Amino acid sequence: MTIQEAIRYITDRLTNIYDDDEASNIGDWVIENLTGTKRTDRIINKALSITQEQVEKIESYLTRLLTHEPVQYVLNEAWFCGLKFYVDKNVLIPRPETEELVEWIISDCRFPIDKLSILDIGSGSGCIPISLKRRLGKAVVWSCDISHEALLVAKRNAATLGVDVNFTELDFLNKEQRDSLPSFDIIVSNPPYIPETDKKEMRLNVLDHEPGTALFVPDNDALVFYKAIAEFGKKHLNKDGIIYTEINESLGKATTAIFESSGYSAQTKKDMQGKERMIRALINRS
Ligand code: GLN
């Protein structure tokens, strides 16, 4: 089988569950991972053939992909801010919206970098703290998560990508545990923000495969993480400190209100799709 035929074969099988573009992107990604060839190599070397071992791998990947398992978990890789992260079912797949949050923090940063301290709440794959540390080299970066397994993934990524992040295991919703953290100039988080009721509108690849604790919050307390972050920031933000969080696109007003009622000035920002997706909050100190 040639590389070209293999892509076509994977794409054809996947069109049962994905639209044509998505199926062909996945086909391309699988072949790139298996053969190490880039799209341009494949156009030039159309007749390059794949080995029997690779054919067998394709079959085993297809079995998993056809259960709606995301290609990122099947191949154990996801891209974020130009970096390749190891991912598995213990962590959320990094999203492009979150890259925009990271870019906002970097372009906004007025702190002297050699004295800057950052806390990320909810490490997941470690995509946020690792990307920030890569870009703001001298900053001290902390990141916490409740999940031991997620922290193993995040630490593995920090090691592979050659950065030092202070990962710590704690339940941020537990006041005593979060108060054990020091103070920071910047606090960032992409916390769980999807109310349980929204599950019915979600795609199977997310619902059946990504970790629920990283995604969902109770319907009657959807902003529980923002309340904890706002409360925490009052004690743990240094002078002129800033909070940046990703938010639920339909809860922009309510999330802003949480920060404002806790004594912050808050401002939302839209993502590339025009959805209200991020908040920046500055504490009002008189
Ligand atoms: N910070 C990680 C990410 O953005 C994990 C977020 C989460 O688990 N809610 O992907």
Residues with beta carbon inside 6 Å of ligand 1? 92, 94, 98, 122, 124-125, 127-128, 190-192, 214
Q: What is the DSSP string of 125-152?
A: TSHHHHHHHHHSTTSEEEEEES-HHHHH
Q: What is the pLDDT of residue 39?
A: 82
Task: Output the residue whose Cα is nearest ligand 1's atom 5.
Answer: 124
Cα of 95 from ligand 1 centre, angstroms: 9
pLDDT of 46 over the 80 cut? no
**pLDDT tens per residue across span 106-151:** 999 988 888 899 999 999 999 999 999 999 999 999 999 999 999 9
How many CB atoms are located within 10 Å of the residue 103 CB? 13
Q: How far apart are CA 120 and CA 142, in angstroms?
A: 6
Q: Place 286 in a pLDDT band, splitting at 50, 70 and 90.
A: low
Which of 97, 125, 188, 226 most suits a substitution to test ligand 1, by most atoms within 8 Å of the C-beta? 125
Q: What is the pLDDT of residue 219?
A: 94
**Mean pLDDT in the chain?**
95
Task: Output the residue whose Cα is nearest ligand 1's atom 2.
Answer: 124
Cβ neighbours for 250, distance < 8 A, ≥ 6 positions apart: none
Q: What is the pLDDT of residue 42?
A: 80
Buried b (16+ CB within 10 A) or exposed e, 224-242: bbbbbbbebbeebbbeebb
On whether the CB atoms of residues 255 and 247 are closer than 8 A, the answer is yes
Return the SS3 of 188.
strand
Instruction: Write down the H helix ranges in the chain.
Output: 3-14, 20-35, 39-44, 52-65, 71-75, 96-108, 127-135, 148-160, 175-178, 204-207, 212-215, 224-236, 252-261
Which of 88, 128, 171 most suits a substitution to test ligand 1, by most atoms within 8 Å of the C-beta? 128
First to last CA, the chain: 71
**pLDDT tens per residue across span 155-188:** 999 999 999 999 999 999 999 999 999 999 999 9
